Amino acid sequence: MSFADDLLEQAYHLLNKDGNAPKQASLRRAVSTAYYALFHLLIDEAVGKWSVEHQRNALARTFKHGGMAKVCDESVKSFYIARQPPHLGPLKDVAQIFSQLQEKRHTADYDSEKWSKGNAETWIDKADTAFKNWRLVRASPEAQDSLLFLFLPELMPKKKKEPESESS
C-alpha cells in the first residue's frame, strides 16, 4: 500500500476512532489527512515517472500546495469551457476535489469552525472518490499532462478567450 493510501486509511481511522462522540481534534485531523492523502497521491504519480529514483524525494518537495490548487482551479475552468469529452469527467472531478479539499484542510487546521462527523466524512469520502477517479484516468495523456502542470504550472496552456459576439 502506498503512503497516500495509508493516509486515506488513517483519515477514516481518525474519523471513527471516538465512536459516536468524536473529538474535534480527530475530525479536523481526519479532514486534513484526507487532503494530504490526495496531495501525496498526485505527487507520487508525478515523481514516479522520474527515471532517477534517488532524486524523487527531492523532486517531490518542489510541489507547492497553492500552485497545485491554482492549476486545479484553472483545469476545472478549462474543462468546462472546452467541453472536454465525457471520459475526462473523472479528471475534472479530481482537480475540483483537490481544490475544495485544500480549502477544507485550511478550515480544519486554522479556523474555529466546529466540525460534525458527517461533514468530515463527506470530505474524506470525496478524497476517496478522487483516488478512484484518478485511477480511472491516470494513463490518459490528459492526466499525464495534468501531472506535468502540477509540477510546472507555467507550462499550463493559457485559457483561450471566448469569441465576442457581434452586435447588430
Amino acid identity of residue 44, one-letter, is D
User: Does 162 fall in a domain?
Assistant: no
Q: What is the pLDDT of residues 15-44, one digit of tens each?
A: 999 998 999 999 999 999 999 999 999 999
- Number of folded domains that form the chain: 1
User: Does 132 fall in a domain?
Assistant: yes
User: Does 55 fall in a domain?
Assistant: yes
User: Does 66 fall in a domain?
Assistant: yes
Helices (H), 21-163: 24-47, 56-60, 65-82, 89-110, 117-137, 141-151
User: Does 167 fall in a domain?
Assistant: no
Under 8 Å between Cβ of 97 and 38 = yes
User: Does 161 fall in a domain?
Assistant: no
pTM of the model: 0.88
C-alpha cell at 145: 499532462
Q: Which domain holds residue 137?
A: 3-155
Find the CATH number of the domain harbouring 91. 1.20.120
Q: What is the pLDDT of residues 78-121, one digit of tens each?
A: 775 556 677 788 999 999 999 999 999 999 999 999 999 999 99
pLDDT greater than 50 at residue 168: no
Q: Cα–chain-centroid distance for residue 63?
A: 13
